[in-house]
Amino acid sequence: MLSEQMKEVLNNQINKEIYSAYLYMSMSAHSTFAGLNGFANWFMVQYQEEMTHAMKIYKYINDQGEKVKLMAITQPPTDFDSPLDMFEKTLKHEKFVTKSINELVDLSIKENDHATNIFLQWFVTEQIEEESNDNEIIAKLKLVGEGGNGLFMIDKELAQRVFTSS
Q: Looking at the predicted structure, is the pLDDT value of residue 109 above 90?
A: yes
Give the 3-state DSSP-derived string for 69-111, with helices as H, strands as E and coil as C. CCCCCCCCCCCCCCHHHHHHHHHHHHHHHHHHHHHHHHHHHHC
Q: What whole-number distance in Å separates Cα of residue 43 and Cα of residue 141?
A: 15
pLDDT digits (tens, 9 = 90+) for 117-128: 999 999 999 999
Check: CB of residue 50 under 8 Å from CB of residue 17: yes
pLDDT at 97: 98
Residue 33 lies in a domain: yes
pTM: 0.95
Residue 166 lies in a domain: no
Total number of domains constituting the chain: 1
Residue 165 lies in a domain: no
Q: CA angle 73-74-77, nearest 5°?
A: 130
Residue 76 lies in a domain: yes
CATH number for 94: 1.20.1260.10
Residue 163 lies in a domain: no
Characterize 115-152 residue by residue with b for buried, 16 or more Cβ atoms within 10 angstroms of its Cβ, and e for exposed: ebbebbeebeebbeebbebbeebbebbeebeeeeeebe
pLDDT at 150: 92
Q: Which domain holds residue 74?
A: 4-158
Check: CB of residue 105 under 8 Å from CB of residue 61: no
Residues 6 or more apart in contact with residue 162 via CB below 8 angstroms: 45
